[in-house]
Amino acid sequence: MNSFLIYSPDASKFELSPDHPFRPERTQMMYDLCMQYDLFDRDWIQIVEPEQLTTDELLLFHEKEYLETLDAAGKGSIEERTLMAGLGTPDCPIFPDMFEKLNLVSGGTIVGMRRVMESDGRAYCFNPIGGFHHAYPEHAEGFCYINDLAIAGKLLRRDGLRFAYIDIDAHHGNGVEHGFYDDDGALVISLHQSGRSLYPGTGFENDIGTGIGRGYTINIPVPPGTDDELYLKAFFAVVPPALEAFSPDALILQIGTDSMHNDPLTNLSLTNNSYKRITEELSTLVEKVIATGGGGYNLDNATRGWALAWAAFNDIPLENPYAGIIGGVMGGPDIEMGDLTDRPIYITGPTKTKNTYEIDRIIEYIHTEIFPLIGAKP
| pLDDT for res 329 | 37
Q: What tens-digit pLDDT sequence spans the chain (378 residues)?
A: 999 999 999 998 999 999 999 999 999 999 999 999 999 999 999 999 999 999 999 999 999 999 999 999 999 999 999 999 999 999 999 999 999 999 999 999 999 999 999 999 999 999 999 999 999 999 999 999 999 999 999 999 999 999 999 999 999 999 999 999 999 999 999 999 999 999 999 999 999 999 999 999 999 999 999 999 999 999 999 999 999 999 999 999 999 999 999 999 999 999 999 999 999 999 999 999 999 999 999 999 999 999 999 999 999 987 654 444 444 333 444 433 447 889 889 899 999 999 999 999 999 999 999 999 999 999
- Check if 134 is active-site: yes
| pLDDT for res 221 | 98
pTM > 0.85: yes
| pLDDT for res 317 | 85
What domains can you pick out in the chain, each with its CATH number? 2-374 (3.40.800.20)
Contact 347, 227 (CB under 8 A): yes
| pLDDT for res 319 | 65
Cα pseudo-dihedral 340, 341, 342, 347, rounded to 10: 160
- Could you tell me how far CA 29 lies from the centroid of its own chain? 18
Determine which one of 20, 62, 133, 134 is catalytic. 134
| pLDDT for res 331 | 43
